[in-house]
Amino acid sequence: MAIRDSYLFPTLETGSSRVFNVCSRSAELSRLIANSAEEAEPGFLFHSRELNNVILVKEARPSRKSSRYHFDHSIGTKLYFPYNCARIYDGGKSAFIDDPQIRRMLKHHAGLDFDEKSEDADRDLSLIRLLEELPSLDPFLVKDKLDIEGIHAHEIYFQISDTEWKAIQAHVSEKLKPIIAFAFPDSEDLQKGRTLFLMKKLWNTKDIDTLMPIMDAFDLPREEASKIFSAWKGIMYYDFEYNRCLPSWRQNIEWMGQDAVPTDFVDPERRALLRELTDSVRGQYKEFWHELRDIFSSYEDAYEKLFVLRQEPGPFVEFMRTAVKTYWILGSRMSAINHSAIVWDILTSGTFKRRLNYDQLYNLLEMQHEIFDSCR
């Protein structure tokens, strides 16, 4: 079958946070190795050669009412195996990672040998399931997740500069410091060595025994510590991304209100249809954007009340209690808006004043509409 998500075409090579095009990056690494005297280390993401041809997509699952299985989140991770990596839209096989038949599919379409090469197969399956734990496939989140688990691959898979990585780390770390100070108020060396030590523990999120005072300070369930800390770090990352992406979002939504008008003659009926679709996409855009804004406003308000004004911790504690759910909401909403904005930029940047004819315009808006629907 042909890939259903054909609207992903403009972003498979350009970095939508909904898509991790392992196939394209593995091909790039193969060319790099072929032109190098020595093999680059570390190398390919997966041990299975065929699995390095996969494309991962974050997408809304089919209606829960029509499914016999229970899922924790409405957004899942779909694996797409193209029959021909050079022509990925010609057809392929796809399935969500937590499909009950995923092991059989990985065996037949990704070459995982759970009998003769069980160690490699189990390792690759575990890696896939780690990516399922992320609400989006942003390079920072993927790289950070794999670093924590001690899984290394060539930097070509992440496409994130050292400068960008350090800027995100600095932002997240700065937001985490007051949490440590609140939980460890009596540490004499809090401002130096102790803070640095605890920051490393909090960043890693695996060796969390030392961090249990934080859970106790905020009256949070200890058994949820790893999930809550991981989600909290992810929320801080999305906070960083939100502020960085605002200009492109504003530009796209302003274009919808002013320039989403066809350059060619269109009869009144089709013009009305186009206006209806434009209004629908703008409504989806605003719905997701307002949801993000409300979440970050609540977070900033709770953060300021506790750590700046030194008032009661209730709002911040409640925000931490719901961190995992919030993390997934932010991931799906951020991915949808970013993906929509990238598609718009790619399909309009080569035209005069970003103006399109009717067919081009309708195609773009329909893509954006599908993107928002697939992230609910």
pLDDT digits (tens, 9 = 90+) for 21-78: 999 999 999 988 888 766 555 689 999 988 999 999 998 887 554 444 445 678 999 9
**Reduced to 3 states, what is the DSSP secondary structure of residue 77?**
strand
Contact 265, 352 (CB under 8 A): no
Residue 108 lies in a domain: yes
| Same domain for 364 and 236 | yes
Is there a single domain that holds both residue 261 and residue 368?
A: yes
Question: Are 24 and 138 within one domain?
Answer: yes
Residues in the chain where the model's pLDDT stays below 70? 1-15, 37-42, 63-72, 186-194
Q: Evaluate whether residue 300 is within a structural domain.
A: yes
Structure-token match 């694996």, residue found: 79
User: E strands of the chain, at which residues?
Assistant: 19-20, 55-60, 75-82, 92-96
Q: Are residues 27 and 138 in the same domain?
A: yes
Looking at the fold, whether 151 and 252 belong to one and the same domain comes out as no
pLDDT of residue 3: 45
3-state SS, residue 141: helix
Q: Which of 188, 191, 230 is nearest to 324 (CA)?
A: 230
Asked if residue 235 and residue 113 are part of one domain, the reply reads no
In three-state secondary structure terms, 99 is coil
pTM score of the predicted model: 0.90
One domain for residues 228 and 155: no
Task: Note whether 252 and 351 are same-domain residues.
Answer: yes
What lies within 8 Å, CB to CB, of 270 at 6+ separation is 358
Number of domains comprising the chain: 2
Nearest to 68 by CA among 95, 93, 102, 100: 100
Q: What is the pLDDT of residue 302?
A: 94
144 shares its domain with 267: no
Which phi-psi region, left, alpha or beta, contains residue 71 (left: φ > 0; alpha: ψ -120 to 50)? beta
> What phi, psi does 356 have (nearest 5°)?
-130, 155
| CA angle, 353 then 354 then 355, to 5° | 90
User: Where a domain ends, among 160, 192, 209?
Assistant: 160
Host domain of residue 84: 6-160
Last residue of a domain, one of 144, 160, 176: 160
User: Which residues contact residue 8 at a Cβ distance below 8 angstroms, ignoring those fewer than 6 apart?
Assistant: 16, 18, 19, 57
Please check whether residues 12 and 129 belong to one and the same domain.
yes
Q: Are residues 14 and 137 in the same domain?
A: yes
Which pLDDT score is estimated for 201?
78
113-159, pLDDT tens digit by residue? 888 778 888 999 999 999 999 999 999 999 999 998 999 899 999 98
Last residue of a domain, one of 130, 160, 190: 160
